[in-house]
Chain A
Amino acid sequence: MSHHLPTPLPHFDRALLHAAATLVPSSEREDWLDSWQAELWHMHSRRRSRFASLRLLADVSYGLVLDALWLRTESWRRTFGGTPVLCIASLFTLCSAALFLAFALNSGNHQLALHFRAIVGRSLGAAPLVIFVAYATASPSHVEQGSRIRPISWLNRKFFLFLKTLLILLFTCLISTDITHPLHSIFPLTADLLQVLAFVLFSLLGLRWAFIDQEQRCKQCLRLLTTPARVGRPSRNLLEWNGTEQVCKQGHGTLSVPEIETSWHQYSQWIDQVSEAA
Protein backbone atom coordinates (compact mmCIF):
# COMPACT_ATOMS: atom_id res chain seq x y z
CA MET A 1 0.00 0.00 0.00
CA SER A 2 1.51 3.31 -1.06
CA HIS A 3 -0.05 6.63 -0.24
CA HIS A 4 0.34 9.97 -1.96
CA LEU A 5 0.76 12.97 0.25
CA PRO A 6 -1.25 16.09 -0.64
CA THR A 7 1.84 18.22 0.15
CA PRO A 8 5.41 16.90 0.33
CA LEU A 9 7.19 16.49 3.67
CA PRO A 10 10.06 18.85 4.60
CA HIS A 11 13.58 17.79 3.56
CA PHE A 12 14.64 16.94 7.11
CA ASP A 13 11.71 14.55 7.59
CA ARG A 14 12.36 12.81 4.29
CA ALA A 15 16.06 12.41 5.02
CA LEU A 16 15.34 11.08 8.51
CA LEU A 17 12.71 8.67 7.19
CA HIS A 18 15.05 7.26 4.58
CA ALA A 19 17.92 6.94 7.06
CA ALA A 20 15.77 5.21 9.68
CA ALA A 21 14.12 2.99 7.05
CA THR A 22 17.46 1.21 6.57
CA LEU A 23 17.04 -0.15 10.12
CA VAL A 24 13.65 -1.67 9.33
CA PRO A 25 13.60 -5.24 7.95
CA SER A 26 13.02 -5.12 4.18
CA SER A 27 9.74 -7.09 4.39
CA GLU A 28 8.20 -4.38 6.60
CA ARG A 29 9.94 -1.33 5.17
CA GLU A 30 7.32 -0.13 2.69
CA ASP A 31 4.50 -0.36 5.22
CA TRP A 32 6.63 1.37 7.85
CA LEU A 33 7.47 4.22 5.45
CA ASP A 34 3.82 4.70 4.56
CA SER A 35 2.76 4.80 8.22
CA TRP A 36 5.42 7.29 9.22
CA GLN A 37 4.95 9.53 6.17
CA ALA A 38 1.28 9.79 7.11
CA GLU A 39 2.08 10.40 10.80
CA LEU A 40 4.59 13.14 9.95
CA TRP A 41 2.22 14.75 7.45
CA HIS A 42 -0.53 14.88 10.07
CA MET A 43 1.88 16.24 12.64
CA HIS A 44 2.84 19.14 10.35
CA SER A 45 -0.77 19.79 9.41
CA ARG A 46 -1.75 20.63 13.00
CA ARG A 47 -1.45 24.30 13.87
CA ARG A 48 0.95 25.01 16.72
CA SER A 49 3.45 27.63 17.77
CA ARG A 50 6.91 27.32 16.17
CA PHE A 51 8.50 26.20 19.45
CA ALA A 52 5.81 23.58 20.11
CA SER A 53 6.17 22.29 16.52
CA LEU A 54 9.93 21.94 16.88
CA ARG A 55 9.59 20.15 20.19
CA LEU A 56 7.02 17.78 18.76
CA LEU A 57 9.19 17.15 15.70
CA ALA A 58 12.18 16.27 17.90
CA ASP A 59 10.02 13.95 19.99
CA VAL A 60 8.41 12.25 16.99
CA SER A 61 11.79 11.86 15.27
CA TYR A 62 13.09 10.05 18.34
CA GLY A 63 10.01 7.81 18.35
CA LEU A 64 10.41 7.11 14.65
CA VAL A 65 14.00 5.88 15.14
CA LEU A 66 13.04 3.81 18.19
CA ASP A 67 10.15 2.29 16.24
CA ALA A 68 12.52 1.28 13.43
CA LEU A 69 14.98 -0.16 15.96
CA TRP A 70 12.19 -2.07 17.68
CA LEU A 71 11.19 -3.69 14.39
CA ARG A 72 14.81 -4.66 13.71
CA THR A 73 15.37 -6.16 17.18
CA GLU A 74 12.02 -7.93 17.03
CA SER A 75 13.01 -9.42 13.68
CA TRP A 76 16.32 -10.62 15.19
CA ARG A 77 14.44 -11.99 18.20
CA ARG A 78 12.13 -13.97 15.92
CA THR A 79 15.08 -15.25 13.86
CA PHE A 80 17.64 -15.96 16.56
CA GLY A 81 15.57 -16.22 19.77
CA GLY A 82 16.30 -19.54 21.49
CA THR A 83 18.68 -20.79 18.80
CA PRO A 84 21.99 -22.50 19.64
CA VAL A 85 23.77 -19.80 17.63
CA LEU A 86 22.50 -17.12 20.04
CA CYS A 87 23.56 -19.20 23.03
CA ILE A 88 27.10 -19.72 21.71
CA ALA A 89 27.36 -16.08 20.57
CA SER A 90 26.29 -14.86 24.04
CA LEU A 91 28.87 -17.08 25.76
CA PHE A 92 31.51 -15.92 23.29
CA THR A 93 30.62 -12.28 24.03
CA LEU A 94 30.95 -12.93 27.77
CA CYS A 95 34.37 -14.54 27.20
CA SER A 96 35.49 -11.57 25.08
CA ALA A 97 34.33 -9.11 27.76
CA ALA A 98 36.17 -11.04 30.49
CA LEU A 99 39.31 -11.19 28.32
CA PHE A 100 39.09 -7.46 27.63
CA LEU A 101 38.82 -6.83 31.37
CA ALA A 102 41.84 -9.06 31.97
CA PHE A 103 43.84 -7.03 29.42
CA ALA A 104 42.76 -3.79 31.07
CA LEU A 105 43.67 -5.02 34.57
CA ASN A 106 47.05 -6.43 33.56
CA SER A 107 47.96 -3.36 31.50
CA GLY A 108 49.62 -5.13 28.61
CA ASN A 109 50.10 -8.40 26.77
CA HIS A 110 53.38 -9.43 28.39
CA GLN A 111 52.18 -9.20 31.98
CA LEU A 112 48.93 -10.93 31.07
CA ALA A 113 50.79 -13.81 29.39
CA LEU A 114 52.97 -14.35 32.47
CA HIS A 115 50.02 -14.16 34.83
CA PHE A 116 47.89 -16.44 32.68
CA ARG A 117 50.43 -19.23 32.34
CA ALA A 118 50.11 -19.99 36.05
CA ILE A 119 46.33 -19.54 36.10
CA VAL A 120 45.69 -21.74 33.08
CA GLY A 121 47.89 -24.44 34.62
CA ARG A 122 45.89 -24.38 37.86
CA SER A 123 42.54 -24.22 36.06
CA LEU A 124 43.46 -27.08 33.73
CA GLY A 125 44.23 -29.12 36.80
CA ALA A 126 40.84 -28.37 38.37
CA ALA A 127 38.77 -28.57 35.13
CA PRO A 128 38.62 -32.42 34.82
CA LEU A 129 37.41 -32.68 38.42
CA VAL A 130 34.80 -29.99 37.86
CA ILE A 131 33.56 -31.68 34.68
CA PHE A 132 33.41 -35.05 36.44
CA VAL A 133 31.42 -33.66 39.38
CA ALA A 134 29.09 -31.71 37.07
CA TYR A 135 28.39 -34.80 34.94
CA ALA A 136 27.98 -37.05 37.99
CA THR A 137 25.49 -34.75 39.69
CA ALA A 138 23.52 -33.83 36.55
CA SER A 139 19.96 -35.14 36.43
CA PRO A 140 19.44 -38.14 34.14
CA SER A 141 18.77 -37.33 30.52
CA HIS A 142 15.40 -37.82 28.89
CA VAL A 143 13.93 -41.06 27.81
CA GLU A 144 13.35 -40.59 24.09
CA GLN A 145 10.08 -42.17 23.15
CA GLY A 146 9.44 -43.36 19.63
CA SER A 147 12.41 -41.58 18.12
CA ARG A 148 14.74 -43.08 15.57
CA ILE A 149 18.43 -42.59 16.12
CA ARG A 150 19.67 -39.72 13.96
CA PRO A 151 23.45 -39.64 14.04
CA ILE A 152 23.66 -36.05 12.80
CA SER A 153 21.24 -34.71 15.43
CA TRP A 154 23.05 -36.68 18.12
CA LEU A 155 26.43 -35.34 16.95
CA ASN A 156 25.06 -31.77 16.81
CA ARG A 157 23.76 -32.07 20.37
CA LYS A 158 27.05 -33.38 21.68
CA PHE A 159 29.05 -30.76 19.78
CA PHE A 160 26.81 -27.99 21.12
CA LEU A 161 27.25 -29.27 24.69
CA PHE A 162 31.00 -29.53 24.15
CA LEU A 163 31.20 -25.94 22.87
CA LYS A 164 29.10 -24.65 25.77
CA THR A 165 31.28 -26.52 28.28
CA LEU A 166 34.45 -25.17 26.70
CA LEU A 167 33.21 -21.55 26.65
CA ILE A 168 31.88 -21.77 30.21
CA LEU A 169 35.22 -23.09 31.48
CA LEU A 170 37.06 -20.36 29.60
CA PHE A 171 34.73 -17.65 30.89
CA THR A 172 34.86 -18.84 34.51
CA CYS A 173 38.66 -19.08 34.34
CA LEU A 174 38.87 -15.49 33.04
CA ILE A 175 36.28 -14.00 35.38
CA SER A 176 37.76 -15.71 38.47
CA THR A 177 41.13 -14.21 37.50
CA ASP A 178 39.58 -10.78 37.01
CA ILE A 179 37.82 -10.70 40.37
CA THR A 180 40.83 -11.91 42.37
CA HIS A 181 43.26 -9.61 40.53
CA PRO A 182 43.09 -6.65 42.99
CA LEU A 183 44.08 -9.02 45.82
CA HIS A 184 47.00 -10.52 43.88
CA SER A 185 49.47 -7.69 44.52
CA ILE A 186 48.87 -7.77 48.31
CA PHE A 187 48.30 -11.48 49.12
CA PRO A 188 49.46 -13.50 46.10
CA LEU A 189 48.97 -16.93 47.69
CA THR A 190 45.51 -16.13 49.05
CA ALA A 191 44.56 -14.66 45.67
CA ASP A 192 45.70 -17.83 43.88
CA LEU A 193 43.71 -20.01 46.26
CA LEU A 194 40.63 -17.82 45.91
CA GLN A 195 41.00 -17.87 42.13
CA VAL A 196 40.89 -21.68 42.07
CA LEU A 197 37.94 -21.77 44.48
CA ALA A 198 36.06 -19.15 42.44
CA PHE A 199 36.83 -21.07 39.23
CA VAL A 200 35.51 -24.33 40.71
CA LEU A 201 32.36 -22.70 42.10
CA PHE A 202 31.53 -20.66 38.97
CA SER A 203 32.25 -23.50 36.57
CA LEU A 204 30.11 -25.93 38.59
CA LEU A 205 27.24 -23.44 38.47
CA GLY A 206 27.88 -22.75 34.78
CA LEU A 207 27.99 -26.42 33.84
CA ARG A 208 24.84 -27.07 35.86
CA TRP A 209 23.15 -24.36 33.79
CA ALA A 210 24.56 -25.90 30.58
CA PHE A 211 22.96 -29.26 31.40
CA ILE A 212 19.62 -27.71 32.30
CA ASP A 213 19.72 -25.61 29.11
CA GLN A 214 20.57 -28.72 27.07
CA GLU A 215 17.51 -30.55 28.48
CA GLN A 216 15.26 -27.60 27.62
CA ARG A 217 16.13 -27.72 23.92
CA CYS A 218 14.63 -29.55 20.97
CA LYS A 219 16.50 -32.75 20.26
CA GLN A 220 16.61 -32.02 16.54
CA CYS A 221 17.04 -28.30 15.92
CA LEU A 222 18.43 -27.42 19.39
CA ARG A 223 16.10 -24.43 19.74
CA LEU A 224 14.73 -23.69 23.21
CA LEU A 225 11.36 -25.33 23.84
CA THR A 226 8.47 -22.94 24.36
CA THR A 227 4.86 -22.60 25.55
CA PRO A 228 5.03 -24.64 28.76
CA ALA A 229 1.60 -26.04 29.59
CA ARG A 230 0.57 -27.75 32.80
CA VAL A 231 -1.12 -31.09 32.22
CA GLY A 232 -3.03 -33.11 34.81
CA ARG A 233 -4.21 -32.25 38.30
CA PRO A 234 -1.72 -31.84 41.16
CA SER A 235 -4.36 -33.18 43.60
CA ARG A 236 -4.17 -36.57 41.88
CA ASN A 237 -0.39 -36.81 41.89
CA LEU A 238 -0.21 -40.51 42.71
CA LEU A 239 -3.16 -41.56 40.58
CA GLU A 240 -2.38 -40.12 37.19
CA TRP A 241 0.32 -38.28 35.31
CA ASN A 242 0.78 -34.65 36.19
CA GLY A 243 3.44 -32.31 34.96
CA THR A 244 4.47 -29.79 32.32
CA GLU A 245 4.72 -30.11 28.55
CA GLN A 246 6.85 -27.94 26.32
CA VAL A 247 6.91 -27.96 22.55
CA CYS A 248 9.40 -27.17 19.82
CA LYS A 249 8.25 -24.14 17.80
CA GLN A 250 9.36 -25.90 14.62
CA GLY A 251 7.08 -28.84 15.43
CA HIS A 252 9.81 -31.43 16.00
CA GLY A 253 8.44 -32.79 19.26
CA THR A 254 7.20 -32.41 22.82
CA LEU A 255 9.00 -32.70 26.14
CA SER A 256 6.89 -33.89 29.02
CA VAL A 257 8.35 -33.29 32.46
CA PRO A 258 6.68 -35.05 35.43
CA GLU A 259 5.90 -32.97 38.50
CA ILE A 260 7.14 -35.78 40.74
CA GLU A 261 9.04 -38.91 39.83
CA THR A 262 6.88 -42.02 39.93
CA SER A 263 7.66 -45.66 39.11
CA TRP A 264 5.70 -45.37 35.84
CA HIS A 265 7.06 -41.98 34.85
CA GLN A 266 10.47 -41.53 36.33
CA TYR A 267 12.14 -39.24 33.81
CA SER A 268 11.12 -36.52 31.41
CA GLN A 269 10.15 -37.87 28.03
CA TRP A 270 10.95 -36.47 24.63
CA ILE A 271 8.23 -37.42 22.20
CA ASP A 272 9.43 -37.10 18.65
CA GLN A 273 6.68 -35.67 16.45
CA VAL A 274 8.16 -36.92 13.17
CA SER A 275 8.47 -40.51 14.38
CA GLU A 276 5.00 -40.34 15.91
CA ALA A 277 3.52 -39.31 12.57
CA ALA A 278 5.40 -41.98 10.58
Chain B
Amino acid sequence: MPSATPTRLSHSAALILKTISLGYRFGLDVMEVTGLPSGTVYPALRRLERDQLVESKWEPEDEAFASNRPARRYYQVTRAGKAAALAATERYPLLARLVPEKHA
Protein backbone atom coordinates (compact mmCIF):
# COMPACT_ATOMS: atom_id res chain seq x y z
CA MET B 1 0.00 0.00 0.00
CA PRO B 2 1.61 3.35 -0.97
CA SER B 3 1.99 5.65 2.01
CA ALA B 4 0.75 9.24 2.09
CA THR B 5 4.07 10.55 3.44
CA PRO B 6 7.13 10.26 1.18
CA THR B 7 9.30 7.26 2.04
CA ARG B 8 12.66 8.04 3.65
CA LEU B 9 15.33 6.26 1.68
CA SER B 10 18.90 5.33 2.47
CA HIS B 11 21.57 7.00 0.36
CA SER B 12 22.13 3.94 -1.84
CA ALA B 13 18.38 3.36 -2.33
CA ALA B 14 17.95 7.03 -3.21
CA LEU B 15 20.84 6.81 -5.66
CA ILE B 16 19.31 3.76 -7.33
CA LEU B 17 15.90 5.40 -7.53
CA LYS B 18 17.44 8.56 -8.98
CA THR B 19 19.36 6.47 -11.53
CA ILE B 20 16.18 4.73 -12.69
CA SER B 21 14.35 8.05 -12.86
CA LEU B 22 17.13 9.32 -15.16
CA GLY B 23 16.42 6.56 -17.67
CA TYR B 24 18.69 3.64 -16.71
CA ARG B 25 16.22 0.79 -16.75
CA PHE B 26 18.21 -2.40 -16.21
CA GLY B 27 19.92 -3.78 -13.10
CA LEU B 28 23.31 -4.08 -14.84
CA ASP B 29 23.12 -0.49 -16.11
CA VAL B 30 22.28 0.75 -12.61
CA MET B 31 25.29 -1.16 -11.26
CA GLU B 32 27.64 0.30 -13.85
CA VAL B 33 26.44 3.89 -13.52
CA THR B 34 26.29 4.04 -9.73
CA GLY B 35 29.34 1.86 -9.09
CA LEU B 36 27.36 0.02 -6.40
CA PRO B 37 27.90 -3.74 -6.04
CA SER B 38 25.19 -6.06 -7.33
CA GLY B 39 24.59 -7.30 -3.76
CA THR B 40 23.31 -3.80 -2.99
CA VAL B 41 21.56 -3.01 -6.26
CA TYR B 42 19.35 -6.06 -6.79
CA PRO B 43 17.95 -6.39 -3.24
CA ALA B 44 17.42 -2.60 -3.22
CA LEU B 45 15.47 -2.86 -6.49
CA ARG B 46 13.29 -5.55 -4.89
CA ARG B 47 12.65 -3.34 -1.85
CA LEU B 48 11.80 -0.34 -4.04
CA GLU B 49 9.41 -2.52 -6.00
CA ARG B 50 7.81 -3.86 -2.81
CA ASP B 51 7.31 -0.28 -1.60
CA GLN B 52 5.79 0.55 -4.99
CA LEU B 53 8.38 3.20 -5.80
CA VAL B 54 9.41 1.36 -8.95
CA GLU B 55 7.65 -1.21 -11.08
CA SER B 56 9.20 -3.88 -13.23
CA LYS B 57 8.04 -5.13 -16.60
CA TRP B 58 9.34 -7.47 -19.25
CA GLU B 59 10.56 -6.05 -22.51
CA PRO B 60 8.42 -7.06 -25.51
CA GLU B 61 9.65 -10.45 -26.80
CA ASP B 62 9.60 -9.46 -30.44
CA GLU B 63 11.69 -6.34 -29.82
CA ALA B 64 14.38 -8.38 -28.07
CA PHE B 65 14.12 -11.18 -30.65
CA ALA B 66 14.74 -8.69 -33.45
CA SER B 67 18.01 -7.67 -31.79
CA ASN B 68 18.94 -11.35 -31.28
CA ARG B 69 19.00 -11.17 -27.48
CA PRO B 70 16.77 -12.39 -24.65
CA ALA B 71 14.11 -10.08 -23.26
CA ARG B 72 15.05 -8.45 -19.96
CA ARG B 73 13.17 -7.21 -16.96
CA TYR B 74 13.28 -3.44 -16.81
CA TYR B 75 12.39 -0.98 -14.09
CA GLN B 76 10.57 2.31 -14.20
CA VAL B 77 9.69 4.82 -11.52
CA THR B 78 6.07 5.06 -10.36
CA ARG B 79 4.29 8.26 -9.39
CA ALA B 80 5.08 7.63 -5.70
CA GLY B 81 8.67 6.89 -6.75
CA LYS B 82 8.95 10.25 -8.51
CA ALA B 83 7.84 12.02 -5.32
CA ALA B 84 10.30 9.94 -3.31
CA ALA B 85 13.12 10.70 -5.77
CA LEU B 86 12.34 14.40 -5.49
CA ALA B 87 12.36 14.23 -1.69
CA ALA B 88 15.62 12.27 -1.81
CA THR B 89 17.23 14.91 -4.04
CA GLU B 90 16.32 17.55 -1.46
CA ARG B 91 17.74 15.38 1.30
CA TYR B 92 20.90 14.47 -0.60
CA PRO B 93 21.61 17.55 -2.77
CA LEU B 94 24.68 16.00 -4.43
CA LEU B 95 22.71 12.98 -5.65
CA ALA B 96 21.86 14.51 -9.04
CA ARG B 97 25.55 15.15 -9.75
CA LEU B 98 26.53 11.52 -9.13
CA VAL B 99 24.57 10.14 -12.06
CA PRO B 100 24.62 11.58 -15.58
CA GLU B 101 21.30 11.72 -17.38
CA LYS B 102 20.89 8.98 -19.96
CA HIS B 103 20.65 10.08 -23.56
CA ALA B 104 18.37 7.93 -25.68
Query: Which residues of A come within 8 Å of B, CB atoms?
Result: 1, 3-6, 34-35, 37-39, 41-43, 45, 59-60, 62-64, 66-67, 70-71, 74, 227
Contact A67 B69 (CB under 8 A): no
Query: Which residues of B come within 8 Å of A, CB atoms?
Result: 1, 26-28, 31, 37-43, 46-47, 50, 58, 61, 64, 68-73
- Contact A74/B46 with A59-B37, A63-B41, A64-B38 known, Cβ cut-off 8 Å: yes
- Give Cα A251–Cα B43 distance, bound, in whole angstroms: 30
B39's partner among A37, A43, A66 (CB-CB below 8 A) is: A66
- Contact A39/B43 with A3-B61, A59-B38 known, Cβ cut-off 8 Å: no
A-B contact pairs, 17 of them (CB 8 A): A3-B70, A6-B69, A6-B70, A35-B72, A39-B72, A42-B69, A43-B28, A45-B69, A59-B31, A60-B31, A62-B37, A63-B40, A63-B41, A63-B43, A66-B38, A70-B47, A227-B1
Contact A67 B70 (CB under 8 A): no
B50's partner among A1, A35, A42, A74 (CB-CB below 8 A) is: A74
List, in ascending order, chain B residues with CB within 8 A of A1's CB: 58
List, in ascending order, chain B residues with CB within 8 A of A45's CB: 69
Contact B46 A71 (CB under 8 A): yes
Chain A residue, CB-CB nearest to B72: A38
Closest Cβ–Cβ distance, residue B70 to chain A (whole Å):
4
- Contact A41/B43 with A1-B58, A62-B37, A64-B38 known, Cβ cut-off 8 Å: no
Contact A42 B46 (CB under 8 A): no
- Contact A62/B39 with A39-B27, A67-B46 known, Cβ cut-off 8 Å: yes
Closest Cβ–Cβ distance, residue A225 to chain B (whole Å):
15
Closest Cβ–Cβ distance, residue A75 to chain B (whole Å):
12
Contact B37 A42 (CB under 8 A): no
